[in-house]
A = this chain, B = another copy of it.
């Protein structure tokens, strides 16, 4: 009944539609495309030298990932940052990652990867490289998931994280990056000490920082948000 299994799940070269999607995706997350901005199939198609069809399919993927809104016969727009979605994603991350932190504290695994990401973040901070700083931040949390023996969990959180990352690219130029790093160090200290309670508290405190940032950013850029 079921057909043959895939022998090579690695696509050697993605389709052009996939490439267009990946490009737009990173543009949205980095803030090169701003919330509410209009996207035109024909314009993007001309810009990348393709027909409308692959661009259109890229839009569909974007919309399915919650990054764009297709209004039939009217236009496609970069989705505004839903405050409800951000708060929901934040709540989920807090619940999941605090659970993961407890596991890591109990397992006492090798934590050199987390040290490495903190070092990388330190360098990005010194160089004022905001994208690299955010990437190192993500890798720190991914390393924690891996240390907990559940690396695939971080993949599932990626989608939810997308909305949060958009917010961070707006706020990271304003907010205190040193405080973020201090929180990471506090988490790592608790993990190395094997103190599950302290690790959970540190993770929850770290992720609750966004509860302060969100209303400030929403007030500063009301056109970028909904809800």
Binding site for B on A (CB under 8 A): 1-3, 5-6, 11, 15, 34-38, 56-57, 60-61, 64-65, 69, 71-72, 77, 80, 84-85, 87-89, 91-92, 94-96, 98-99, 150, 152-153, 155-157, 159-160, 223-224, 226
Q: How far is the CA of A11 from the CA of B37 in the complex (A)?
A: 20
**Extra contacts besides A3-B77, A60-B61 (11): CB < 8 Å:** A1-B36, A2-B35, A57-B57, A85-B152, A88-B150, A88-B152, A88-B156, A91-B99, A94-B99, A95-B95, A95-B99
For residue A96, give the distance in angstroms from its CB to the closest CB of chain B: 4
| Interface of A (DSSP majority class) | helix
> A98 contacts which chain B residues (CB < 8 A)?
95
A155 (CB) vs chain B CBs: closest residue: B88
- Cβ-defined contact, B2 with A37, below 8 A: yes
